[in-house]
């Protein structure tokens, strides 16, 4: 934070903290006690749905235990249309997941208008272990059933599964006992890469140990070569002030690897990128109104978008009203081009970043105890 927040007047001390981060991460890396989990068919997702912490990678966890009647409600929170926050990824962010050949997805001709079932193919394997797509299934009373994105939950089409076990039994109430990781070895690798790059001391071996290793687990080819080309999409949408290809890729990797783990806001604060909180909440591309879409290509249509109530609705299809006249109590979703385009959500509500939010307010109770503390700027 000290490096990018010039008004604090602390930039001269930023290197000392970066060096401390490098030292701490090097101690863990060289110690050999931890490593990236590469076991099983879903080595990334297993970190978030295993009942016992994956000991090779997880440094700190919140563990549940059915024998002690210690549970949590992750499934309920991530699948309920009324209880959870209905958080979904945005298309702008999903576009940053690389192709399996190592190239940016946004290099593909026509990427802007690909339907969901096409855009998720041949991508970084973490995408399919983070959201519902393609052949994702769930268990309902012992039966395995297809599980495309459900629009009673998701507003964008990119519905998370990262913390959600697949058995629908756990969807209602405090029933989960999968462990919740708080700190992983992957985060240590990302800290190491970012701190060394900020210090100007990042080389090909560092890339191989950190970003290369993470991308290898994600099934991405050509992971061990230092990048030399700037991805114009990533730069223009997120970091136009950065002209270093390696730093851009480190930031891409941090966003993808740690998505939905509660760290993104603090990354944006550290980089002085609070304005990214103002980005449009956008969703997948809809090619036409009144045309049901098969999101997981199982032969069954899943969702359709309309402005006039359909007279002959297809059984099993969720219909979403994207007209200007939204009934009371329904969160407004629109298409960017009227009868087609990207989904957007709550565009009528202004999203305004204020720089005072880079610091939390001093709590009132603390000020009552000691008025000499003063208050942070703007609060």
Q: Do residue 120 and residue 219 come from a single domain? A: yes
pLDDT surpasses 80 at 331: no
Residue 168 above 90 pLDDT?
Answer: yes
Q: Is residue 4 scored above 90 in pLDDT?
A: yes
Full domain range(s) for residue 363: 351-379
Q: CA separation (Å) from 262 to 154, 181, 258, 266, 360?
A: 19, 11, 8, 8, 16
pLDDT digit string, tens, across residues 237-257: 999 999 999 999 999 999 999
Q: Are 3 and 111 in the same domain?
A: yes
Q: State both tokens at 315.
A: 């059984």
Confidence (pLDDT) at 94: 98
Task: Domain count for the chain, please give it.
Answer: 3
pLDDT of 328 over the 70 cut: no
Q: What is the pLDDT of residue 104?
A: 98
Q: Which of 228, 245, 279 is the last residue of a domain?
A: 279
Residue 169 located in a structural domain: no
Residue 140 counted as domain residue: no
The enclosing domain of 42 has a CATH number of 1.25.40.390
pLDDT at residue 327, rounded to an integer: 72
Q: Which of these ranges, 21-25, 190-194, 345-349, has the smallest mean pLDDT?
A: 345-349
Q: Is residue 359 over pLDDT 90?
A: yes
Mean pLDDT over 69-74 rounds to 96
Among the ranges given (76-85, 118-127, 326-335), the one the predictor scored with the smallest mean pLDDT: 326-335
Q: What are the residues whose beta carbons fall under 8 Å from the beta carbon of 96, sequence distance 6 or more?
A: 104, 105, 233, 234, 238, 252, 255, 256
Nearest Cα to Cα of residue 44 among 146, 209, 162: 162
Q: β-strand 143-146 against 137-140: which pairing, if any?
A: antiparallel
Query: Are residues 251 and 378 part of one domain?
Result: no
Same structural domain for residues 43 and 105? Answer: yes
Q: Are 100 and 221 in a shared domain?
A: yes
pLDDT at 211: 98
Residue 150 pLDDT grade (very low, low, confident, very high; cuts 50, 70, 90): very high
For range 26-55, the mean pLDDT = 97
Is it the case that residue 329 has pLDDT exceeding 80?
no
Residue 79 lies in a domain: no
Residues 122 and 259 in one domain: yes
> Does some domain include residue 136?
no
CA distance 219 to 95: 17
Predicted confidence band of residue 128 (pLDDT cuts 50, 70, 90): very high
Confidence check: pLDDT of 126 > 90: yes
Count Cβ atoms within 10 A of the Cβ of residue 240 and give its class: 0-12 exposed, 13-18 middle, 19 or more buried: exposed
Residue 300 in domain: yes
Residue 346 has φ and ψ, to the nearest 5°, of: 55, 40
Give the whole-number percent of the chain exceeding pLDDT 70: 99
Span 322-351, average pLDDT:
88
Domain end, chosen from 247, 279, 311, is at 279
For β-strands 333-335 and 180-184, DSSP reports them as unpaired
- 315 and 275 within one domain: no
Same domain? For 103 and 242 the reply is: yes
Q: Is residue 208 part of a domain?
A: yes
The answer on 340 and 255 residing in a single domain is no
171-219, pLDDT tens digit by residue?
Answer: 999 999 999 999 999 999 999 999 999 999 999 999 999 999 999 999 9
User: Rounded to whole angstroms, how far apart are CA atoms 120 and 140?
Assistant: 25
Average pLDDT of the residues of the chain: 95
Do 261 and 308 sit in the same domain of this protein? no
274 secondary structure, DSSP code? G
CA–CA distance, 344 with 342 (Å, rounded to integer) = 6
Q: Please name the helix (run of DSSP H) or strand (run of DSSP E) that holds residue 181, with its range, or none.
A: strand 180-184
372 and 265 both lie in a single domain: no
* pLDDT surpassing 90 at residue 51: yes
Whether 251 maps to a domain, the answer reads yes
Which is more confidently placed, 81 or 268?
268
């Amino acid at each position: 934070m000290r490096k990018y927040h010039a008004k604090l007047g602390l930039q001269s001390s930023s290197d000392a903290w970066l060096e401390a981060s490098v030292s701490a991460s090097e101690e863990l890396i060289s110690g050999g006690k931890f490593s990236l989990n590469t076991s099983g068919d879903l080595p990334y997702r297993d970190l978030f749905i295993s009942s016992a912490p994956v000991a090779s990678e997880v440094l700190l966890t919140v563990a549940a235990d059915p024998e002690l009647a210690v549970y949590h409600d992750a499934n309920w929170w991530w699948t309920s249309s009324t209880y959870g926050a209905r958080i979904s990824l945005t298309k702008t962010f999903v576009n940053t997941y690389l192709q399996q050949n190592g190239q940016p997805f946004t290099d593909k001709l026509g990427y802007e208008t690909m339907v969901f079932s096409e855009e998720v193919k041949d991508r970084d394997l973490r995408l399919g272990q983070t959201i519902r797509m393609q052949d994702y299934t769930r268990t309902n009373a012992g039966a395995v059933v297809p599980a495309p994105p459900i629009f009673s939950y998701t507003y964008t089409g990119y519905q998370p599964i990262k913390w959600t076990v697949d058995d629908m039994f756990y969807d209602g109430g405090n029933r989960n006992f999968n462990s919740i990781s708080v700190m992983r070895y992957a985060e240590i690798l990302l800290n190491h890469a970012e701190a060394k790059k900020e210090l100007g001391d990042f080389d090909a071996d560092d890339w191989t140990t950190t970003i290369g290793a993470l991308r290898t687990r994600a099934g991405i080819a050509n992971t061990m070569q230092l990048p030399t080309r700037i991805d114009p999409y990533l730069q223009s949408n997120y970091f136009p002030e950065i002209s270093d290809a390696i730093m851009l890729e480190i930031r891409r990797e941090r966003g993808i690897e740690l998505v939905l783990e509660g760290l993104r806001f603090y990354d944006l604060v550290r980089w002085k990128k609070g304005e990214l909180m103002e980005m449009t909440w956008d969703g997948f591309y809809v090619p036409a109104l009144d045309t049901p879409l098969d999101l997981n290509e199982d032969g069954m249509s899943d969702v359709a978008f309309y402005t006039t109530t359909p007279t002959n609705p297809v059984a099993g299809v969720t219909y979403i009203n994207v007209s200007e006249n939204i009934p009371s109590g329904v969160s407004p979703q629109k298409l960017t081009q009227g009868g087609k385009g990207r989904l957007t959500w709550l565009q009528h509500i202004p999203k305004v970043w204020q720089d005072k939010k880079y610091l939390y307010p001093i709590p009132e109770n603390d000020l009552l105890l000691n008025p000499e503390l003063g208050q942070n700027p703007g609060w």
